[in-house]
Chains A and B, each alone.
Chain A
């Protein structure tokens, strides 16, 4: 049963990757590419919130980590003159180190208190960006973040002035995220992390240092938020404090829960469907939160495993009918 599921997940993943690579060759509309890039960046973020979510913690600081990644990358390229290709991993690492410092004291706290603390952390970050004008540009943020510098791969000169190369860049980073997360899921770390919310007491009693494991999940999540932030800053060419507030964490949570947290497909599916829905409903923009909220309520009631569990649910329903 489990093996069957994993082979299906692999098949769907390969299909998604293949269509991700081929689609822009058929459909070159820049607006379409823009939506895809947004979906890719949000998927990376959603993966980051999911890895903490499976330990039973809702990390509302993810929105703040996204912003920190964007600002770090902007500062590294604009003020220190680093190349984007170095500042992308560097901002991921910087945010991971930040998460390590922040996470150590706060990961002892559970449930609603953890949500409130991480929510507070995002707000503290936002205040820092607003107040520290010399470094972070104050309320209007940092403008003129350069596009990624051109590179030569296998004799091809790739410049990032158009959307297409950035599409592939975001896709590569997303693929990297998916690969890492998938390996984590099947490894001892993933299994242990998923066991934590079931009984922390039991885990502690058989020698699992739960604080360390939670910290590892938190830091990995923050690392990917940092990467996403860097992509964000260099795609939109600015980093502004208004973009990085705690509601971002809520949206990530919604995408993860609606898509399903069981497999790595969930976050991708959630981001794809809901962000496309956002675009479809763009005429009725002020009403989209209502639609999203209704979808969330429906999913929580009838599909607690998220959209990814739909085929399974349908299967068991059909069996039940036959009986």
Chain B
């Protein structure tokens, strides 16, 4: 079946479900539906391990009966199940309370233009080819260095799917998308020490994935470099967050400036609009319409039109991130962030990663973070870390079993530089981040 035809069939289902909701007593309703088909293939020690055929779909519906809300979802897309989901949602709305802030986003905020964002690049789901790719990645990793002694496997995923959103304002929009990824994780040993590391690549277009050989080599190189890691003494030193893990820092920023955290007063960035949070040179732009972008979309999860936005301007907090509900709770208007952010471009200081090491001088180059020790209510930060000890801009030896701690307020203000080489594999595009100082706990 042609993708356009599948899409219009799903749009028809969404339409039917919305009509059914109105018929059952809803005054407003919204529904989203997705369907994703794919393969997930893995090899281990250059032999096939798992071949999975994935096929996931679901429908979620929210109904509003006056100012009361009810929601239901189903993975079973039979007519009976859809009907039951609608009835259940309407039933739930009998028990939820009147809430003046509830309801669909205002009609005039609905997206009306749906440019082709080039998100769909279908390719035949060929398990044989996928297996060949993972084995190639593993072979490259295992052959990289004699200290690579074992493999945790390589995997290849391909997903082709579509997403549709509709509500009773009349919007009913959807688009197909594709996503391909390849990853490899290997184990190295030396003098009884065993370490593992990995590498991965992800893209909407399969031909644009990094080559299997380079992923294997990258995984092996990272693993070998960790061998012989030691603890270091407790100290206060500068920290360089490698670009592969640096986006997590802005992930915490997303949490702290989200409307949901603000109206619950659960953020360390309350009442901070216009305040200096980052250094003056730091800007963050949101670009939802990047062609083939991994976090591109022309509308959010409530049908609200996405737009280009400045998130951080001259280091100042330019905007919070609202959904319809959180915006109403805070007496403002949504800016299209139901469901998350869309392609953040973080500014840089033009440094290469080796420039950043020199700039840091002596400190810890962090390549792995562990655990969830971040409190967005207070900004307190304490996470497990591994990486490399650096002296005078030169890597000395691998480090593990330490923590880095501080508070996000100081960490944000203490960003000294950001590298020009960006990690483009997520929704935040940032380079490596140099922070003036943090507490390392070790021996």
> Do A and B form a real pair?
no
- Give chain A's interface residues, CB within 8 Å of chain B: none
- Give chain B's interface residues, CB within 8 Å of chain A: none
